[in-house]
Structure 1
Amino acid sequence: MSQEATILLIEDEPEIRRFLRTTLPAHGFRLYEAATGREGLTEAKARNPDLILLDLGLPDLEGSEVIRRVREWTATPIIVLSARDQEQVKVAALDLGADDYVTKPFGVHELLARMRAALRHASQSADVSEPVFTLGDLTVDLGRRQVHVSGKEIHFTPIEYKLLTTLIRHAGKVLTHRQLLKEVWGPLHVEEGHYLRVYMRQLRNKLERNPAHPRYLVTELGVGYRLRTE
Structure 2
Amino acid sequence: MQDAGFVRKAFAGIASRYVLANHVLSLGIDCLWRRTTANRIVQLKPKLVLDLATGSGDLAQAIQKACPEAKVLGADFSVPMMREAQARRFHQLIAADGMALPFKDDVFDVLTVAFGLRNMASWPAALQEMSRVLRPGGTLFVLDFSIPRIPGIRQLYLFYLKHVMTRIAGWITGQREAYVYLCGSIERFPSGKEMEALICANGFQSACAKQLTFGIASLYEAKKAS
TM-score (norm 2): 0.35
Name whichever structure is richer in helix by fraction: 2
Bigger relative contact order, structure 1 or 2 (CA pairs below 8 A, ≥6 apart):
2
